[in-house]
């Protein structure tokens, strides 16, 4: 059983606030009766009409995708490029949790469960986002320390919780660095490396929390198990 306004909002009809207004205005019916009381509990078998239109309550779905390069992390693209939800065979209105750039590969969670998405995205949940970056140039200890102490992006200090130099290629003058962060600001990893003087040539997200993609080929995905979903719920602050 869930609160009516929450169910309406999660059906994608409108925001939770607007749903509350619609309920108070008498525009919502449950099983043929107008309901004006906020917080009325409903379940998936109830017939809910909003402005006389039936809303469908979807079961919650959760996926882990190994995002390939050249796919946009969105649910619609005005330039008609391939989008991540095209890669997943479902009728549910799922959306990506956070964003990976067009040229970034790796772990991306998708769901139609807003609460789950909020937990994964909120820095307070402390969920590791682990990236492997190929840098032009070779990073030094001092620059790694700066990333750990924090660099300013849009005037906000962001820190890497771990930075590890994994490999150096002196001939090509490149290196591979694993970096762990907890936030998901726009282009965060690329901008953090830029802040210490490095261009990121390639970026792959190896893992989001417990969800690593080493067993998934590029473009492959799998459903999360109920146990995995409950582990994320247990991190709710």
Min. distance of Cβ 233 from ligand URA in angstroms?
24
Nearer to ligand URA, 71 or 119 (CB): 71
Nearer to ligand URA, 23 or 208 (CB): 208
| Residue 86 a catalytic site member | no
Q: Rounded CA gap, 151 and 131, in Å?
A: 17
Q: Rounded CA gap, 139 and 159, in Å?
A: 17
For residue 161, what are the CA distances in angstroms to 158, 213, 229, 235, 236? 10, 20, 24, 18, 20
Nearer to ligand URA, 35 or 150 (CB): 150
Looking at the DSSP assignment, which residues form a beta bridge with residue 178? 132, 164
Residues at the contact surface with ligand URA, assessed by CB under 6 A:
100-101, 104, 187-190, 203
H helix or E strand, kind and range, residue 174: strand 174-181
Min. distance of Cβ 193 from ligand URA in angstroms?
8
Looking at the DSSP assignment, which residues form a beta bridge with residue 181? 129
Catalytic residue among 101, 103, 115, 154: 101
Nearer to ligand URA, 93 or 102 (CB): 102
For residue 158, what are the CA distances in angstroms to 28, 125, 142? 44, 16, 17
Min. distance of Cβ 189 from ligand URA in angstroms?
3
Min. distance of Cβ 124 from ligand URA in angstroms?
19
Catalytic site residues?
101
């Amino acid at each position: 059983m869930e609160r009516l306004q929450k169910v309406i909002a999660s059906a994608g009809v409108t925001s939770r606030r607007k749903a509350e207004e619609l309920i108070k205005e008498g525009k919502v019916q449950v099983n043929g009766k107008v309901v004006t009381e906020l917080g009325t509990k409903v379940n998936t078998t109830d017939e809910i009409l909003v402005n006389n239109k039936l809303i469908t309550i979807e079961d919650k779905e959760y996926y882990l995708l190994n995002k390939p390069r050249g796919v946009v992390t969105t649910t619609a693209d005005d330039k008609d490029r391939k989008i991540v939800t095209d890669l997943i065979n479902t009728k549910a209105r799922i959306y990506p949790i956070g964003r990976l750039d067009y040229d970034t590969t790796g772990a991306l969670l998708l769901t139609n469960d807003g609460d789950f998405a909020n937990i994964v995205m909120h820095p307070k949940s402390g969920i590791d986002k682990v990236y492997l970056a190929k840098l032009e140039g070779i990073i030094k200890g001092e620059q790694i320390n700066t990333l750990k102490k924090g660099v300013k992006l849009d005037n906000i200090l962001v820190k890497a919780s771990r930075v590890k130099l994994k490999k150096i290629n002196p001939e090509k003058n490149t290196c591979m660095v694993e970096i762990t962060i907890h936030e998901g600001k726009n282009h965060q990893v690329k901008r953090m490396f830029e802040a210490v003087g490095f261009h990121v040539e390639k970026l792959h997200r190896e893992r989001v929390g417990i969800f690593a993609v080493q067993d998934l080929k590029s473009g492959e995905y799998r459903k999360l198990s109920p146990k995995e979903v409950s582990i994320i719920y247990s991190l709710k602050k």
